[in-house]
């Protein structure tokens, strides 16, 4: 999934369905995560798409000791230039009143 494809999906949703909510969130954890989302009323009911952009992990450093009871710490090194993108799809569950993730295997 690339940003151009995401914009095409957003355009198709706005043309064909009623948009209930749309926005952008920024989380400063893990090198800075950007989440763009859109909530719309589709043929399957209330749906939410999230396009997540986060820095690519380029190194992982594990700090540990062989002593009994010691902690293990994992430090991640994030890229300043390279990003990874992911699209998540959720469907509103009327019974439990929460967002349930739709698995990618259900689309085929």
Residue 66: phi and psi, rounded to 5, are -85, 5
User: Could you tell me if residue 77 is inside a domain?
Assistant: no
Q: What pLDDT score was predicted for residue 107?
A: 60
User: Could you tell me if residue 32 is inside a domain?
Assistant: yes
**What total of structural domains would you count in the chain?**
1
Domain of residue 89, residue span:
3-54+84-103
pLDDT at 62 over 70: yes
User: Could you tell me if residue 69 is inside a domain?
Assistant: no
Residue pair 91/102 in contact by the 8 Å Cβ criterion: yes
User: Could you tell me if residue 48 is inside a domain?
Assistant: yes
Whether pTM > 0.75 for this model: the answer is yes
User: Could you tell me if residue 97 is inside a domain?
Assistant: yes
Q: What pLDDT score was predicted for residue 1?
A: 77
pLDDT in tens, 40-53: 998 888 999 999 99
Q: What pLDDT score was predicted for residue 22?
A: 92
User: Could you tell me if residue 9 is inside a domain?
Assistant: yes
pLDDT in tens, 65-74: 878 878 888 8
How many whole angstroms separate alpha carbon 6 and alpha carbon 1? 7
User: Could you tell me if residue 11 is inside a domain?
Assistant: yes
């Amino acid at each position: 999934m690339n940003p151009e494809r995401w914009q095409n999906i957003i355009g198709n949703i706005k043309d064909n369905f009623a948009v209930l909510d749309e926005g952008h969130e920024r989380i400063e954890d893990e090198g800075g995560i950007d989440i763009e989302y859109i909530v719309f009323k589709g043929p399957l009911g209330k749906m939410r798409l999230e396009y997540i952009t986060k820095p690519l992990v380029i190194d992982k450093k594990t700090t540990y000791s062989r002593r009994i009871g010691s902690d293990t710490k994992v430090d991640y090194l994030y890229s300043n230039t390279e990003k990874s993108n992911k699209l998540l799809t959720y469907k509103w569950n009327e019974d439990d009143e929460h967002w349930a993730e739709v698995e990618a295997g259900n689309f085929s």
